[in-house]
């Protein structure tokens, strides 16, 4: 690269960073279009309505009926917000989250009322058109009530037994996409008469009308007397499936009842965003200082690349329409710490090559070649955990997974492309003195394997202590009788709605009341939400007995002049408890199994995979032990915390295993396996420690500045990061050594 090209490359990267940063803050025009204010916020940040419905009278409705109901509700709530989300919960429940909407009563009246599907004759008895075609499509000329009175409604949705998309052969033997309809006995007779009339009237049309829209207006090609009909003319199978699904929806008989509904005030989101933004700025600044202090010009290079990474990720979160939730903010800030990892691997490699006497240009080229497998394998395994979160997690967890997935992809891009371009540009500008970059000192080999017995014993004792705490200590009455401190989402609880005589802000509520309420109910995790547009505040606590409810009511009456008769208390269903725990376990197992398969495929040795899985299980169990010891609340971010630990820990383990694999290829007959493992761990030790340190710094910033739900995520995550670092350095390599020596492959 020439000097001029190097200068241009550096300028372009700085300009891009400034451009994306400007867009993130100021956007375009007076409305700041494209800025962070346009990022879609989830229910926890924007506020809105959250409703859970349950199917009445059927604990196990068919998957098709439930899927169709979800589709129907998704169409309905889209009228309130395009960011509304509808998803299944368990076997017979549906969750609806509508951010930015606060008229819960109107929504509750609207949702759950099935839209009605009609098959309509083209002409009324007097010969006039019931609907006509315009340049913009078909238009209904009369109301449904008028059509019913005239006898122009041929069928209703309940007359359709089934509707399926399919492919059939026409008379010429050609494949044709179609929708296959099966009618009820009553519908069969009515449809025969209607199709006979339409066919005799010049093969006229019969319209299918649902929820104010024409689904399809097919022409009658024959008299249909057996109750089985086909609708043809669809352009592709997807269109046919959409029509079939809509017809099935119109025939649903599922009755829904409200299981619970919550109204969240947006001011909670403002507090969360501001505190998380502060955490991100402080954490980023500390990481930059550490990079500059330890890696000199490398540190400056990484800091520039990290700046582009942060501004670009914010820009893409907005551009891709990713809904940002509270855990999503945590995932974004966490990914800043993890983004340093690939840079650190590369820098360590370059310094090693400089120690052998190579020039800086040659060292960069060789280092990237050697580091690529570790970067790709480590990030892909972490990406697997993020994808499992995305697929199997709740809506808020999916927000975390989306930002983490985007972060992993961008971090690889900035490390592999941007950092390399910057380094080559600095070299082109003539900055070639190795002292500016730093030369790695000769590593003093540490005999980790000689201490493997101590490491194994220490880990076993911590895990056993955690199990004992969960089984015998925590189930005591004063700890609510649970192995872990499950939150309201797992156990259910009591929701108390209090109408105050003034409009309290959430900050005032937190400062004035929450600590007192926590003392009354014996729960340190009281959740408060304001009811939008009123002076009412919702307090969510553990399940309260009659005495606790009375004491809580007296507290509000004595201290805030609240009329006890106006205070409403109701139980929040705990039906999601077992399912949430089951989903958590399944998600962790799925992530670990997929990682094991990937590692086995990449390393061609199941012992690497087995060692990784045992190290991951160790990290999960140690973190669970911390949850038990500290009795930290197990809430909605529990799954995100566990899978983040799984993905983060395996990243460090992969880097060590990659070095073992490399050193094995270069080993001679005189090389001792024990020395190879110890050398590999020692060679990657600085990377393991520094990457953990930068990530730990970001999580500490989250804990210091974050709101309570972020703290619940950050505290166990700090423990998990330490456990993951320890297991990667002290356990993973040692376990592989044991497996390799005890279960050695027979050499040909």
| Residues in CB range of 611: below 8 A, 6 or more apart | 653, 657, 732, 733, 735, 736, 739
Residue 196: band (very low, low, confident or very high) from pLDDT cuts 50, 70, 90? very high
Domain 449-466+577-742's class? Answer: mainly alpha
Give CA–CA dist 71/243, Å, rounded.
Answer: 12
pLDDT at position 77: 75
Give Cα separations from 732 to 122, 318, 650, 728 (angstroms): 73, 39, 10, 5
pTM given for the model: 0.71
C-alpha to C-alpha distances, 555 to 384, 445, 516, 521, 540, nearest whole angstrom: 49, 64, 9, 12, 16
pLDDT value at position 58? 73
What percentage of the chain reaches a pLDDT higher than 70? 86
Mean pLDDT in residue range 375-396: 78
Express each pLDDT in 14-42 by its tens digit.
999 999 999 988 888 877 888 888 887 77
Residue 695: pLDDT band by 50, 70, 90 thresholds? confident
Q: What is the pLDDT of residue 599?
A: 86
Average pLDDT on 436-452 reads 83
Q: With a cut of 80, say whether residue 635 has pLDDT above it.
A: no
Looking at the predicted structure, is the pLDDT value of residue 231 above 70? yes
* Res 139: pLDDT: 92
DSSP-derived letter for residue 472 is I
- Specify the higher pLDDT residue, 514 or 131: 131
Task: Give the best-scoring range by mean pLDDT among 65-74, 415-424, 595-604.
Answer: 415-424
Q: How high is the pLDDT of residue 453?
A: 95
pLDDT > 80? residue 59: no
The yes/no answer on whether domain 48-113+256-264 falls in CATH 3.30.70.3400 is yes
Per-residue model confidence (pLDDT) at position 89: 67
CA distance 162 to 248: 6
181 neighbors 247 (Cβ within 8 angstroms):
yes
Lowest mean pLDDT among 117-131, 160-174, 492-506, 533-547: 160-174
Instruction: Answer yes or no: are the C-beta atoms of 106 and 290 closer than 8 Å.
Output: no
pLDDT band at 260; cut points 50, 70, 90: low
| pLDDT score, position 209 | 92
pLDDT for residue 424 is more than 60: yes
pLDDT at 746 exceeding the cut of 50? no
CA proximity to 95, closest of 87, 84, 105, 104: 87
pLDDT surpassing 60 at residue 266: no
Lowest mean pLDDT among 136-140, 416-420, 490-494: 490-494
> What pLDDT is stored for residue 577 in this prediction?
44
Give residue 455's pLDDT: 96
Strand 485-486 versus strand 633-634 pairing type: parallel
pLDDT of residue 14: 94
Interval 219-237 mean pLDDT:
89
Least confident window among 100-104, 345-349, 463-467: 100-104
Let me know if the fold of 265-437 is the same as that of 449-466+577-742.
yes
Query: What mean pLDDT comes out for the span 88-114?
Result: 70
From the centroid of its chain, how far is CA 278? Answer: 23
Q: Which CATH class is domain 265-437?
A: mainly alpha
Task: List helix spans (H) across 161-233.
Answer: 185-200
Query: Which of the four pLDDT bands, split at 50, 70 and 90, describes residue 92?
Result: confident
Statement: residue 172 has pLDDT above 80: no
pLDDT of residue 270: 63
Query: The CATH number of 493-572 is which of 3.30.70.3400, 1.20.120.450, 2.30.40.10, 3.40.47.10?
Result: 3.30.70.3400
Q: What is the mean pLDDT of residues 148-174?
A: 82
Give the other-Cβ count within 10 Å of 261's Cβ: 16
Tell me the C-alpha distance between 643 and 18, whole Å. 34
The answer to whether residue 421 scores a pLDDT higher than 50 is yes
- Domain locations along the chain: 48-113+256-264, 117-250, 265-437, 449-466+577-742, 493-572
H/E stretch holding 451: none
- Backbone φ, ψ for residue 437 (5° rounding): -95, -30
Tell me: pLDDT of 503 over 60.
Answer: yes
Query: Mean of the per-residue pLDDT values for the chain?
Result: 83
Give the pLDDT confidence score for residue 747 in this predicted structure.
Answer: 42
Query: What's phi and psi for 461, nearest 5 deg?
Result: -65, -40
Average pLDDT rounded to a whole number, residues 552-562:
93
Look at residue 267 in the predicted model and tell me its pLDDT: 46
CATH topology of domain 117-250: Gyrase A; domain 2 (3.30.1360)
614 DSSP β-pair partners: none
- Express each pLDDT in 330-382 by its tens digit: 667 767 777 788 888 888 888 888 888 898 999 999 999 988 888 888 888 88
Q: What is the pLDDT of residue 552?
A: 93
């Amino acid at each position: 690269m020439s000097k001029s090209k190097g200068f241009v490359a550096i300028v372009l990267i700085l300009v891009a960073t400034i451009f994306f940063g400007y867009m993130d803050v100021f956007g375009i025009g007076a409305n700041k279009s494209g800025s962070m204010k346009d990022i879609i916020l989830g229910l926890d940040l924007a506020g809105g309505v959250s409703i859970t419905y349950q199917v009445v009278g059927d604990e196990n409705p068919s998957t098709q009926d439930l899927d169709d109901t979800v589709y129907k509700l998704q169409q309905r709530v889209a009228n309130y917000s395009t960011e509304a989300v509808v998803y299944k919960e368990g076997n017979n429940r549906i969750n609806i989250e509508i951010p930015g909407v606060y008229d819960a009563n109107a929504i509750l009246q609207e949702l759950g009322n099935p839209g009605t599907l009609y098959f309509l004759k083209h002409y009324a008895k007097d010969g006039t058109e019931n609907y006509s075609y315009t340049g913009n499509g078909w238009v209904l000329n009369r109301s449904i009530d008028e059509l019913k009175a005239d006898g122009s409604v041929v069928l209703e949705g309940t007359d359709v037994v089934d509707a399926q998309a399919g492919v059939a052969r026409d008379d010429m033997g050609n494949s044709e996409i179609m929708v296959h309809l099966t009618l009820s006995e009553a519908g069969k007779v009515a449809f025969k008469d209607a199709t006979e009339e339409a066919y005799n009237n010049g093969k006229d049309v019969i319209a299918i009308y649902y929820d104010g829209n024409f689904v399809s207006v097919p022409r009658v090609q024959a008299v249909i007397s057996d109750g089985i009909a086909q609708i043809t003319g669809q352009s592709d199978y997807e269109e046919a499936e959409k029509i079939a699904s809509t017809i099935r929806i119109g025939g649903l008989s599922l009755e829904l009842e409200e299981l619970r509904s919550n109204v969240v005030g947006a001011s909670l989101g403002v507090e969360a965003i501001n505190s998380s933004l502060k955490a991100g700025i402080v954490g980023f600044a500390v990481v930059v200082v550490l990079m500059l202090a330890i890696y000199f010009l490398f540190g400056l290079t990484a800091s520039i690349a990290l700046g582009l990474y942060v501004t670009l990720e914010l820009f893409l979160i907005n551009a891709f329409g990713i809904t940002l939730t509270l855990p999503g903010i945590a995932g974004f800030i966490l990914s800043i710490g993890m983004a340093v990892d690939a840079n650190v691997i590369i820098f360590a490699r370059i310094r090693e090559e400089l120690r052998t006497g190579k020039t800086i240009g040659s060292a960069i080229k060789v280092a990237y070649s050697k580091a690529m497998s570790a970067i790709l394998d480590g990030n892909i395994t972490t990406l697997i955990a993020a994808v499992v979160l995305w697929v199997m997690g709740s809506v808020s967890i999916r927000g975390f997974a989306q930002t983490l997935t985007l972060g992993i992809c961008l971090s690889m891009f900035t490390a592999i492309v941007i950092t390399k371009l910057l380094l080559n540009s600095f070299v082109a500008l003539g900055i070639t003195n190795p002292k500016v970059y730093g030369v790695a000192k000769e590593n003093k080999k540490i005999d980790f394997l000689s201490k493997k017995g101590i490491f194994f014993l220490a880990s076993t004792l911590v895990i056993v202590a955690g199990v004992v705490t969960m089984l015998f200590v925590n189930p005591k009455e004063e700890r609510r009788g649970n192995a872990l401190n499950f939150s309201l989402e797992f156990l259910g609880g009591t929701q108390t709605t209090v109408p105050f005589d003034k409009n309290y802000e959430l900050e005032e509520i937190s400062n004035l009341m929450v600590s007192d309420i926590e003392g009354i109910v014996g729960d340190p995790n009281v959740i408060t939400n304001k009811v939008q547009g009123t002076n009412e505040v919702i307090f969510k606590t553990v399940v309260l007995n009659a005495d606790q409810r009375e004491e809580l009511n007296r507290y509000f009456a004595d201290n805030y002049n609240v009329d006890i008769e106006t205070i409403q208390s109701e139980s929040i269903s705990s039906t999601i408890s077992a399912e949430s725990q089951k989903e958590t376990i399944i998600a962790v197992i799925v992530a670990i199994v997929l990682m094991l398969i990937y590692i086995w495929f990449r390393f061609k040795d199941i012992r690497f995979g087995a060692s990784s899985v045992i190290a991951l299980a160790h990290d999960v169990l140690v973190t669970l032990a911390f949850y038990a010891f500290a009795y930290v609340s197990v809430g909605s971010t529990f799954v995100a915390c566990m899978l983040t630990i799984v993905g983060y820990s395996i990243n460090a383990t992969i880097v060590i295993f990659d070095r073992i694999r490399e050193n094995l290829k270069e080993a001679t007959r005189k090389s001792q396996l024990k020395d190879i493992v110890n050398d590999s761990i020692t060679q990657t030790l600085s990377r393991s420690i520094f990457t953990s340190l930068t990530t730990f710094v970001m999580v500490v910033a989250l804990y210091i500045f974050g709101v309570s739900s972020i703290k619940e995520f950050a505290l166990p995550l700090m423990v998990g990061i330490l456990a993951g670092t320890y297991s990667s350095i002290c356990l993973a390599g040692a376990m592989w050594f044991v497996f390799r020596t005890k279960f050695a492959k027979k050499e040909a």
